[in-house]
Structure 1
Amino acid sequence: MNNTDPTSFQSILAGVKKLREQNGGQERSQQQKQIPTVTNTNKTENIPVRPPEPKRTVINSFNQQRVPQQNSNSDDPNKKRPYVNHGPGKTVLVNTTQKENPLLDNLKNTNWRYVTSKGGTKIYYDYLIKGRSVLFLTLSYHKLYADYLTRRMAPLSKDDNNILIFVVDGPNSEETLTDVTKMCMFNGFTLLVAFNFEQAGKYIEYLNSA
């Protein structure tokens, strides 16, 4: 006669079943880990993942950005920079025949000095500014000596880089200015018309500083 307690036997069976279920669950979990990934082509492929491309900055005329120059010496504080001279221009050469000219009293912002003809060296300009020959004439003097300007222009006419500063110091200048303009055109002179000696001096200062 079997004296096994059915209650106890059922308890054992239940325990065994529970153990089997636990072991079976662990085995299925391990099997799932070992199963390779299956794609549509039934092959396992390790596709490399490309890193995201860096964001590119668009350079245009709106954001006003510029590509930096690759110059290793650009930021060197000890590097010597080229010297740029922003001082006044060269000295203006003034013919000694201009000593009584009131224009000279207005040359306050430029350097100038007298020169004179010596021996066989004849000076034909009244002022020499950076290699450019400049003649000076007033309306009143031109009316008294109409041929004076023609004689003064003749030795300089071979060069077309000359200047005539003409001071209008009297009335009825229209016809005279027309004649003087034609003479300048045919003899290679640029005509600068001033209406006082101060303005004439400003012309010389500007030409020497330009």
Structure 2
Amino acid sequence: MNNTDPTSFQSILAGVKKLREQKGDISSQPPAQAPVDTSSTKESSTVQERQQPRRVINSFNQQRPPSGSTDNEQGTKRPYQNQGPGKTVLVNTTQKENPLLDKLKNTNWRYVSSKGGTKIYYDYLVKGRSVLFLTLSYHKLYSDYITRRMAPFSGEEDDILIFVVDDSNSEESITDITKMCMFSGFTLLVAFNFEQAAKYIEYLNSA
């Protein structure tokens, strides 16, 4: 007499074992998987990438990647500094107290100074272009300063003057500075704060 309860867990296991022995345990083999066609998936993702507009990040729109963004799968943060000696802005040590340097965040730079018989005439050297710096308030105190600073340059129209308007009644002074730049071969860039002046240098260094 079979006293095994057909509803017990042991009875169920015994029945499953007996069926596997009879069928050679065929049911235990995993079914073969059909090959997956990835061509349509790749094509769909490519179309989506083309449809998504790319954000342009530059020195003037002041857009920045979010703080948690990464540049690759390893989680390396996107570097803001330009790399390589050709991308390093040279800063005359006479500019150490210039508030512009505190705003210069997105560009590599280092100090240089006149040594021996080598005289440095620029305030900033950006990719081979000499840049002078002047504020309106200083120009009102020393009107002949910028004339003396421009004198050593060749006038090849490759030099730049960044002029920060930090005082009122600027129209006459800007007119005078514009004339000086025209006759001395300088390109005039007018800024209305030190942050904008720093953006000029960043843009020149990235161009």
Q: How does 1:1-210 map to 2 (within 5 A)?
A: 88=82, 90-210=87-207
Q: Could you tell me how far apart the structure 1 residues matched to 2:193 and 2:176 are?
A: 20
List per-residue Cα deviations over 1:107-132 (Å, max 9, x = no partner): 11000000000000000000000000
What is the deviation of 1:90?
Answer: 0.8
SS of 1:142's partner is helix
Residues 144-168 of structure 1 deviation map (CA, whole Å, 9 limit, x = unaligned): 0000000000001443200000000
TM-score after normalising by structure 1: 0.58
Aligned equivalents of 1:199, 1:125: Cα separation in 2: 19
Q: SS at 2:146's partner residue?
A: helix
Name the amino acid aligned to 1:202: K
User: What CA distance in whole angstroms lies between the structure 1 residues aligned with 2:134 and 2:140?
Assistant: 11
Alpha-carbon separation, structure 2, partners of 1:137 and 1:115: 19
Deviations 1:145-203 (A, max 9, x none): 00000000000144320000000001000000000000000001000000000000000
Q: Identity of paired residues, percent? A: 84
Q: How many residues align?
A: 124
Task: Check whether the contact 2:134–2:162 (CA below 8 A) recurs between aligned residues.
Answer: yes
SS in 2 for 1:120: coil
Q: Distance in 2 between matches of 1:113 and 1:136?
A: 17
Distance 1:167 1:134 in 2: 13
Using the alignment, how far apart are the partners of 2:176 and 2:155 within structure 1?
Answer: 20
Which of the pair has more CA radius of gyration?
Answer: 1
Report Cα offsets for 1:8-49 as digits up to 9, x if no partner. Answer: xxxxxxxxxxxxxxxxxxxxxxxxxxxxxxxxxxxxxxxxxx
CA RMSD, 1 decimal: 1.1
TM-score normalised by length of structure 2 = 0.59
Amino acid at match of 1:124: Y
